[in-house]
Amino acid sequence: MQKITPHLWFDKEAKEATEFYVSLFPDSQVKNVRTIKNTPSGDCDIVRFDLAGEPFMAISAGPYFKFNPPISFFVTFESEEEVKKTWDKLIAGGQALMAYDTYPWAKKYGWLQDKYGLSWQLSWSEHHQFPQKITPLLMYTGANAGKTEEALNFYTSIFPNSKINFTAHYEAGEGDKESFIKHAQFNLGDSHFMAMDSSGPHKFTFNEAVSLVVNCADQTELDYYWEKLSAVPEAEQCGWLKDKYGVSWQIVPTALNEMMTTSDQAQLDRVTQAFLKMKKFDIAKLKEAAEGK
């Protein structure tokens, strides 16, 4: 299985935002930009890019979903100069959720929403040494608060070569229930994630603004992940689904990525119109569309 890819939904700013993000981190680049036409959102730009060597995707598809803190991106740094420089660039036009400061767990740390609304946690700390420089962090709030450990057991049971690497519960006086997870690390295949519970009076939960793309080699693999993860039938559309915690996933055949990076606009249009009619992707029908059958 390829790495699970975070997917970011923008109104109109996907190209602009990704150019900004790749300017912040070494080993980053925009790899491909394609425009799909005549969708319910009009013409949509799709951007594939790497940040610090990790794959990402973005789309400009209208003002339907807004970024919020339940999925943020935790970034580790090697020096105060590096973390402060990145903080200053990301906070411009945005807002701090936790002030950039010294904390018991970090020499310097801060949590912010950038000018597009995307959430980032930046850390310079000997305690934060992860396999990826940029790691998605899932925060379970509202009705999901207290379900982090359950969710991690659920996800690691689905994806092969997965494991929970570390969990730490809140201790007395730390500001949340002692049964709740304050920090967890886990792997789904080759992808590293973090997670936490928060029972605060939050007015947000997971939504489609950040989804997780699972690339599948064939229809059997695609069917497997769809059956295991999909829990909200009304959310199923164009390869998207929601799991029982409200996290959005895209279950996508690797072949579709190849079809969508073509320079043949007619093929791209045919494939787009084919998948817009689907809930779960049918690889055979997508290939027929690509071939003009």
pTM of the model: 0.96
Q: At 177, is the pLDDT very low, low, confident or very high (cuts 50, 70, 90)?
A: confident
Every domain of the chain and the residues it spans? 5-66+207-291, 71-197
- Beta-carbon count within 10 A of 285 CB: 15
Q: Hey, what are 277's tokens? A: 């009619």
7-25 per-position pLDDT tens digit = 999 999 999 999 999 999 9
- What is the Cα–Cα distance from 61 to 44, expressed in whole angstroms? 5
CATH code at 5-66+207-291: 3.10.180.10
Helix/strand/coil for 82:
helix
- pLDDT given for residue 1 in this prediction: 58
Given a cut of 70, whether residue 222 has pLDDT beyond it is yes
Fold entry, domain 71-197:
3.30.720
pLDDT tens digits for 86-144?
999 999 999 999 999 999 989 999 999 999 999 999 999 988 888 899 999 999 999 99
Residue 175 has pLDDT above 80, yes or no: no
User: Do 199 and 146 touch, CB atoms closer than 8 A?
Assistant: yes
Res. 151: pLDDT tops 70: yes
Which single residue is written with the structure tokens 């606009």? Answer: 265
DSSP per-residue letters across 48-77: EEEETTEEEEEEE--TT----TTEEEEEE-
Structure tokens, 208: 């489609």
φ, ψ dihedrals at 76, nearest 5° = -105, 150
**Cα three-residue angle 175-181-186, rounded to 5 degrees:** 145
Segments in the chain forming alpha helices (H):
14-22, 80-91, 148-158, 219-229, 254-260, 265-276, 283-291
Number of alpha carbons in the 13 Å side-chain half-sphere of residue 232: 16
